[in-house]
Every structure is written in C-alpha cells, then in structure tokens.
C-alpha cells in the first residue's frame, strides 16, 4: 500500500493543478444516506418520480416541498466529516485546486473548501420555478398552503437542485469540463461513476493526460483506467492521504532543502 501512496503523492506537488470529483459516498459518513444503495439508499425507500421531477412538483408541489423541507431539517443536524476536512486542507496547500461535487448538502463549503462547483445544485437554496433564478428565502412571499412564491413573478419557489430529466447548470458543467481538461491530477472520490454527465469527467481528464486516482470502497466503471486506486471510506483514506502528502512535501520544503 505504501507504494500506492508514494505514487499518488509524487504527482501532488504544491504546483499541481488538481481536480477532485466527489459523490454521495463522501457525505454518507456524516449520516446522509446515498441515493443508489439497493438496501439503504433514498431511492430504495422513495419513488423519485413522485418526489424529484418537475412533473411531480407541478402535480403536487406541497408533497415535493415538504419532502425537501424534511431533508433540509435533517441536514441541519449533520456536520462535515474527516474526509470533507481533509479535502479543505488539501485545497489550502495546493493553490490550483478545484472541487467538483455531485452532492447537494453544502458540507464541502461548511468544511472550508474555498472553491466548489456544485453540479447538482444546493439543497439550502431555492429558485423561482418560472424564472429559474435563485431567490433568498427572506424575500419570498408565503402562500396560503405553506409554500413560498417568487417576489418578482409570483410563481412557486422550488429547491435549487437538479431533478430527474433536467439538465445540469450550464455554467457549472462547463467550468467542471474545462478544469478536467486542464488538470494534472484528477481524483474520483466516493462516487459510483455511473451518473452522467459527471461520470464522464474522470474519463475526460484521463484522455487529456491527467493522473487519475480513485478512492472508493468498491470497484466502479472507471476502476480499470485509474492510475492509482485506494479502496476504503473517504473519511479514512483522505486524512491518510494528507498525512502522506505532508510527509513528502513539507519535509522537502523544510529548512536546508
């Protein structure tokens, strides 16, 4: 295993351009269930067609809104874990560091990561269902049935998350693609690597010459192309990555070097 760590840290000088893609597995250790686990995932318990589509919201906005309010309340009791904090520490030490996440919980920002591209939106934000612009909750107009309306046009507010059948935010996706094409090292962490278009980012980075690292408890569709693989939970692997990184690079930059 030490040989794998040496290989990874050798590609991580402070001058490297690094992109990290994270998925639901990173937040699972904070107590947020993943979506796709066949036994415990949210979609094993709830029908996404009833709760996470624009059609569902149009059909029964109260049901959808209340479900997301429940998820928001559950999120308020959750804190970043050691994996989130390790990535924030890595970002502090490598200036050209970009974090791309499929998660909507906001835990990366809470942990201190300075630059986060949120591909699937953010659970804590709302947007106008007609104008597609983010609206601060304090500015929203309450409705009679407990929903919120846009102060500009009167349309209902909805969570600012990407639902099934919707396109990812164009600017966020374009930025993530550009970073994947330019990076020296690309990490795929805690993601199943099956949800497109995010699943194409590690492949794209590899195509453009990046050193590809996968951190995941299980094999995924990109495992075979990864230059280095560490099997394990991100909350355990990422702090060890930082320890190994400090041993290699802080020692090299010490007095007399």
Active site positions, annotated: 120
Q: Are strands 148-149 and 157-161 parallel, antiparallel or unpaired?
A: unpaired
* Of 34, 110, 42, nearest in space to 76 by CA: 110
Under 8 Å between Cβ of 242 and 20: no
For 185, the enclosing helix (H) or strand (E) is: strand 185-189
| Length, in residues, of the chain | 257
**Distances in whole angstroms, Cα of residue 12 to Cα of each of 51, 84, 181:** 42, 18, 17
- Per the DSSP assignment, residues forming a β-bridge with 213 are 187, 228
* Of 29, 125, 28, 112, nearest in space to 72 by CA: 125
């Amino acid at each position: 295993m030490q040989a794998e760590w040496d290989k990874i840290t050798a590609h991580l000088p402070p001058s490297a351009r690094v992109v990290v893609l994270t998925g639901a597995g990173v937040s699972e250790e904070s107590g947020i269930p993943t979506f796709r686990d066949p036994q415990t995932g949210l979609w094993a318990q709830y029908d996404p067609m009833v709760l996470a589509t624009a059609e569902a919201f149009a059909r029964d906005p109260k049901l959808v809104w209340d479900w997301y309010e429940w998820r928001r309340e559950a999120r308020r009791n959750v804190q970043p874990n050691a994996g989130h904090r390790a990535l924030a520490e890595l970002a502090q030490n490598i200036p050209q560091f970009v974090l791309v996440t499929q998660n909507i919980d906001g835990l990366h920002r809470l942990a201190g990561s300075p630059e986060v591209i949120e591909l699937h939106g953010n659970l804590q934000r709302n947007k106008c269902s007609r104008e597609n612009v983010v609206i601060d909750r304090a500015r929203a107009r309450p409705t009679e049935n407990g929903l919120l309306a846009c102060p500009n046009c009167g349309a209902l507010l909805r969570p600012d998350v990407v639902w099934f059948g919707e396109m990812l935010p164009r600017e966020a996706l374009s930025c993530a693609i550009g970073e994947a094409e330019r990076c020296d090292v690309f990490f795929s962490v805690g993601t199943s690597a099956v949800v497109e278009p995010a699943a194409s980012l590690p492949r794209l980075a590899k195509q453009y010459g990046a050193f590809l690292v996968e951190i995941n408890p299980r094999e995924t569709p990109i495992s075979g192309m990864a230059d280095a693989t560490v099997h394990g939970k991100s909350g355990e692997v990422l702090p060890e990555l930082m320890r190994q990184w400090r041993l290699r690079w802080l020692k090299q930059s010490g007095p007399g070097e």
